Amino acid sequence: MPEPAADLGSIVRGSLGRLSGEADALVAHFYAALFTAAPALREMFPVAMDHQRDRLFKALCDAAGLLDDPARLDRYLSQLGRDHRKYGVVPEHYAPVGEALMATLRAHAGEAWTAPEAEAWAAVYNHMASVMIAAAEEDAAAHPPVWSAVVVDHQLRTPDVAVLTVRPDQYYPYRAGQYATVETGRWPRVWRPYSIANAPRPDGLLTLHVRAVPAGWVSSALVRHTGVGDVIRLGPARGSMVVAGELTRRVLCVGGGTGLAPVKALAEEMVTVNRPPSLHLFFGARTREELYDWADLERMASFYPRLLAVPVVSDDPGWSGVRGTLSEVLPAQGRWTDHEAFVSGPDPMVRSVVAWLRSEGVPEERLHFDLFGPDGERAPARVPAGV
Ligand SMILES: NC(=O)C1=CN([C@@H]2O[C@H](COP(=O)(O)OP(=O)(O)OC[C@H]3O[C@@H](n4cnc5c(N)ncnc54)[C@H](O)[C@@H]3O)[C@@H](O)[C@H]2O)C=CC1
């Protein structure tokens, strides 16, 4: 498949840079143009388009940012193409989207719109569309676009945190440490990512840890309006925080709040499959009541002597155990420079723990984490050092 020439990158980034102050107007124009030209496509989007607006511009900027790195760009686009299957996107949809995009860019660039810019955008969009379509077609040969999953257990562990167990309607392929996007019947076409909190098991059940956040459509639906017997839908598993092969190094796992989910899945897999020499798992919460899964971690640790689980509480003066945020307490809890580290939780927590581990000399290849973007979607790629 032909790749876009590198100098297209500077043209496209230049025009996106010029338009960045107008992102909202640009995206509103784009959807108006798209739905006018192809009204049937409106049904594929959520009723409220607020998140969608940010996503389109972000996806364009992400893709433009990768134009000089064709291999990474194509990995990103392939994943985007596979992910779009769950929205019902088919190859015929790409032409009206491309036309709406070009019309929007032209209208907003005004006088600044030049023939080379038009050609650059057309080439880039054609490349994006062809990679996404090819990846979606390849994926369709192996997997359904979505999985239905029935809720078989729903436990409210705190007023805001639920642990749900679901049974997918067919084999759901994933690896410990990955996440699924989830859609509830209450809010069709609104998808949010949740890490799977267990390693793959023979009965195929998946456990999700969900905190209902203010204005969190999907999280509130899952915590407060979902019960045993309800059906949710899952997109394909994603995420780079996985383990390959045997682990000869000691392991450090750090999970903050419901960010415990993926590190718990990893720990479950490691103690039985990868068998590192030792595994420290720090579970951080604001108060002792928020240690919503501590009983289960203790049970796991009682079966596996290599697993040492430590509860850490940051905002509870009466707590007599390890106290502070995770990045505050780790330095006093051991020396982690030789460890393989897996970190998950609120983005600021992940950033501060990872920054500290880097400053201690843990090399990049032994730091494993995924970040949520500000809109609740995962960042498409690892964040470079220094952020
Ligand atoms: N990265 C991943 O793979 C996953 C991340 N998450 C994310 O984890 C988060 C969990 O949220 P909650 O349960 O509400 O956690 P929370 O706000 O209750 O905090 C959990 C822990 O993180 C610490 N923490 C919070 N903010 C911090 C900061 N700015 N600096 C240092 N430490 C900080 C707290 O002290 C506590 O120990 C959500 O944002 C969710 O999106 C959830 C699942 C997987």
Residue among 3, 264, 5, 288 at smallest CA distance from 130: 3
The yes-or-no verdict on residue 234 having pLDDT over 70 is yes
| Residue whose CA lies nearest to ligand 1 atom number 13 | 257
* DSSP class of 378: B
Q: What share of residues in the chain are helix, strand, coil (percent, to 5)?
A: 45, 20, 35
| Residue whose CA lies nearest to ligand 1 atom number 9 | 346
Predicted pLDDT of residue 68: 87
Instruction: Name the pairing type of β-strands 231-234 and 147-156.
Output: antiparallel
The yes-or-no verdict on residue 1 having pLDDT over 70 is no
CA of residue 27 relative to chain centroid, distance: 23
Spatial distance between the Cα atoms of 147 and 327, rounded to a whole number of angstroms: 37
CA distances from 234 to 21, 186, 275, 374 (A): 35, 14, 30, 21
Among 196, 266, 281, 325, the mutation site with the greatest number of ligand 1 atoms within 8 A of its Cβ is 325
Tell me the ipTM for this assembly.
0.91
CB of residue 211 inside a 6 A radius of ligand 1: yes
Predicted pLDDT of residue 5: 54
More confident position, 240 or 159: 159
The yes-or-no verdict on residue 15 having pLDDT over 70 is yes
> What is the overall mean pLDDT for the chain?
90
Residue among 344, 338, 337 at smallest CA distance from 369: 344
Task: List, as one string, the DSSP characters of 103-122.
Answer: HHHHHHHGGG--HHHHHHHH
Spatial distance between the Cα atoms of 220 and 218, rounded to a whole number of angstroms: 6
CA of residue 96 relative to chain centroid, distance: 28
Predicted pLDDT of residue 48: 76
Predicted pLDDT of residue 375: 44
Predicted pLDDT of residue 161: 98
Each domain of the chain, given as residue ranges in start order, spans 6-140, 147-234, 251-369
- pLDDT (tens digit per residue) in 238-295: 988 999 878 899 999 999 999 999 999 999 999 988 889 999 999 999 999 999 999 9
- Residue 378 pLDDT grade (very low, low, confident, very high; cuts 50, 70, 90): very low
CB of residue 258 inside a 6 A radius of ligand 1: yes
Q: Is the dihedral of CA 31, 33, 34, 39 positive or negative?
A: positive
**What's the gap in Å between 79 CA and the centre of ligand 1?**
26
Q: Is the dihedral of CA 360, 362, 367, 371 positive or negative?
A: positive
- Residue 383 pLDDT grade (very low, low, confident, very high; cuts 50, 70, 90): very low
Buried residues in 191-224 as b, exposed as e (16+ CB within 10 A): bbbbbbbbbbeeeebbbbbbbbeeebbbbbbbbe
More confident position, 374 or 51: 51
Task: List, as one string, the DSSP characters of 30-48.
Answer: HHHHHHHH-GGGGGGS-SS
**What's the gap in Å between 349 CA and the centre of ligand 1?**
6
| Residue whose CA lies nearest to ligand 1 atom number 4 | 259
Instruction: Name the pairing type of β-strands 340-344 and 367-369.
Output: parallel
> For the residues 95-121, what does the mean pLDDT come to?
92
Predicted pLDDT of residue 4: 55
Sheet holding 147-156, edge to edge: 192-195, 179-183, 231-234, 147-156, 161-168, 206-211
The yes-or-no verdict on residue 36 having pLDDT over 80 is yes
Predicted pLDDT of residue 334: 92
Helix 6-19 to helix 115-140 angle (10° resolution) is 110
**What's the gap in Å between 346 CA and the centre of ligand 1?**
3
Q: Is the dihedral of CA 23, 80, 223, 309 positive or negative?
A: negative
Read off φ and ψ for residue 254, nearest 5 degrees. -130, 120
What CATH class has 147-234? mainly beta
- pLDDT (tens digit per residue) in 282-316: 999 999 999 999 999 999 999 998 999 999 999 99
Q: Which CATH fold topology does 6-140 show?
A: Globin-like (1.10.490)
Which pTM does this prediction carry?
0.86
Residue 82 exposed, middle or buried by CB count within 10 Å (0-12, 13-18, 19+): buried
With beta carbons less than 8 A apart as the criterion, state whether 311 and 298 touch.
no
> For the residues 96-117, what does the mean pLDDT come to?
91
CB of residue 174 inside a 6 A radius of ligand 1: no
**CATH number at 251-369:** 3.40.50.80
**What's the gap in Å between 37 CA and the centre of ligand 1?**
43
Could you tell me what percent of the chain has a pLDDT over 90? 73
Q: Mean pLDDT check: name the lowest of 136-150, 201-215, 367-381.
A: 367-381
